[in-house]
A and B are shown apart, each in its own frame.
Chain A
Amino acid sequence: MFVGQIFLLTLLYQLSVVIVTFLHIPIPASVFGMIVLLVLLSKGLIHMHYVEKGAAFLNKHLAFFFIPIAVGLMAYGGLIKTDGLALIVMIAGSSIIGLFVTAALTDRLSKKVKGQRREHS
């Protein structure tokens, strides 16, 4: 049953690849598939029961699937030696700025919206 659920998710993904390729949709197939599954679940076309266990397993081990790809960094030894420090500062710095702006802005705006709703009601 559990394997069947993962098979169903794989089928959904492969279908998304086909749709995204043929319709030239400019978003990754995996993100497109995520939206499709969300719509199917919301419309009740796929019952949560059919995907929940398999999805929980894949979500828990999502990090695993990135590891073999990240190992590809080993091919960049030369660049790391010459520009490694500058690149780390660039990636860390811009990530910290983006993280702070996104989270702080969302946090402040959410509180403001909540406050306004309270005033109106």
Chain B
Amino acid sequence: MTFIYIVLTIAVYLSSRMLARRFPSPFTTPVFTSTAVLIVLLLLADVSYEQYTPAKDMMTFLLGPATVALAVPLYHNRDVLRDRLIPAAAGLIVGTLSTIASAVWIASAFGLSDTIQATSAVKAVTTPVAIEAAVIIGGDPALAAAFVMVAGIFGAVFGPFLLTAMNITDPFSRGLGIGTVSHGIGTSQAVLEGPVQGAVSSAAMGFAAIVTSFVLPWFFPLIQ
């Protein structure tokens, strides 16, 4: 069955890419359409996520190497990054703090539990960091992974569209924004928008993870 799940996942992904090419729209972003279609198919076939997990483990084997590979666009655009290091660092740090604070405040405004509020704080960063950071401030690691996925898909789907609506056309600032709030999944979309966006988004994803893990233990009690 694992083999069938893998073939199915690849087929759905390739079709979603074709769909996105034919009908370019935020709503046809492959990571969004593929995930939605696969969830529906698995639910209809009465397959649990546990049954799908061996296939997942095999398919995600290259996620680590693929993230390492982001060093290549980073290298090609290193001069731009060096040149704009200070504005980028300021934007990234203030942006990270604002996304953490607003997530916690919105969660608390809805009267969500303390665990969910703590987990909300980590939703913008890449999964391994989110899981560890969530535990430190009293959040739930599994839920953190889920929030990270939704935030990533949201950023990939609406990030480019929102930036255009906000009148931000500079490729550097666009990449930085996407990488800071939607980590690898946003970056996977930024890479497709352009080489500068991809490179800056990769760097932003890394730095946002580092900033969050250092800042969160003292910043979270302040905003709670």
Number of A-B contacts (CB under 8 A): 320
22 sampled A-B residue pairs with Cβ under 8 A = A10-B64, A27-B210, A31-B206, A33-B64, A33-B65, A38-B78, A41-B72, A42-B75, A55-B71, A61-B66, A62-B188, A65-B63, A66-B149, A69-B149, A71-B39, A73-B39, A89-B106, A92-B154, A92-B158, A94-B106, A102-B204, A110-B84
Q: Mark A103-116, 1 if CB is under 8 A from B, else 0.
A: 11111011011000
Which A residues fall within an 8 A CB radius of B? Answer: 6, 9-10, 12-14, 16-17, 26-31, 33-38, 41-42, 48, 51-52, 54-56, 58-76, 79, 83, 86-107, 109-110, 112-113
Please measure, in the bound complex, the distance between the C-alpha atom of A102 and the C-alpha atom of B124, giving whole angstroms: 13
Q: Are B94 and A96 closer than 8 Å at their CB atoms? A: no
Q: Are A106 and B172 closer than 8 Å at their CB atoms? A: yes
Across-interface contacts of B70 in A (CB, < 8 A): 34, 55, 59, 62
Q: Are A106 and B177 closer than 8 Å at their CB atoms? A: yes
Interface residues on chain B, size class: 35 or more
Q: Which residues 51-72 of B have a CB within 8 angstroms of A?
A: 52, 55-56, 59-60, 62-72
Please measure, in the bound complex, the distance between the C-alpha atom of A88 and the C-alpha atom of B213, giving whole angstroms: 24
Q: Are A66 and B63 closer than 8 Å at their CB atoms? A: yes
Across-interface contacts of B146 in A (CB, < 8 A): 72-73, 76
Q: Are B88 and A91 closer than 8 Å at their CB atoms? A: no
- B interface SS class: helix
User: Which residue on chain A has the smallest CB distance to residue B49?
Assistant: A75
Selected contact of A90 from candidates B120, B163, B174, CB within 8 Å: B120
Q: Mark B185-207, 1 if CB is under 8 A from A, else 0.
A: 10111011000001000101110
Q: Are B209 and A38 closer than 8 Å at their CB atoms? A: no
Asked, given contacts A68-B9, A98-B98, whether A27 binds B213 with beta carbons under 8 Å apart, the answer is yes
Closest 7 pairs (CB-CB, A-B):
A98-B99, A102-B95, A106-B91, A103-B177, A109-B87, A30-B67, A94-B103
How far is the CB of A12 from the nearest CB of chain B, in Å?
5
User: Which residue on chain B has the smallest CB distance to residue A93?
Assistant: B106
Across-interface contacts of A26 in B (CB, < 8 A): 132, 213-214
Selected contact of A72 from candidates B75, B102, B145, CB within 8 Å: B145
Which B residues fall within an 8 A CB radius of A? Answer: 9-10, 12-13, 30-31, 34-35, 38-39, 42-43, 49, 52, 55-56, 59-60, 62-75, 78, 84, 86-88, 90-92, 94-96, 98-100, 102-103, 106-107, 110, 112, 116, 120, 123-124, 126-129, 132, 143, 145-147, 149-156, 158-159, 162-163, 166, 168, 170, 172-174, 176-178, 180-182, 184-185, 187-189, 191-192, 198, 202, 204-206, 209-210, 213-214
How far is the CB of B195 from the nearest CB of chain A, in Å?
10
Across-interface contacts of A13 in B (CB, < 8 A): 64-65, 67-68
Given A59-B191, A107-B170: 11 more A-B contacts, CB < 8 Å: A6-B62, A13-B67, A33-B65, A38-B75, A41-B75, A86-B112, A93-B103, A98-B95, A103-B95, A103-B174, A106-B177
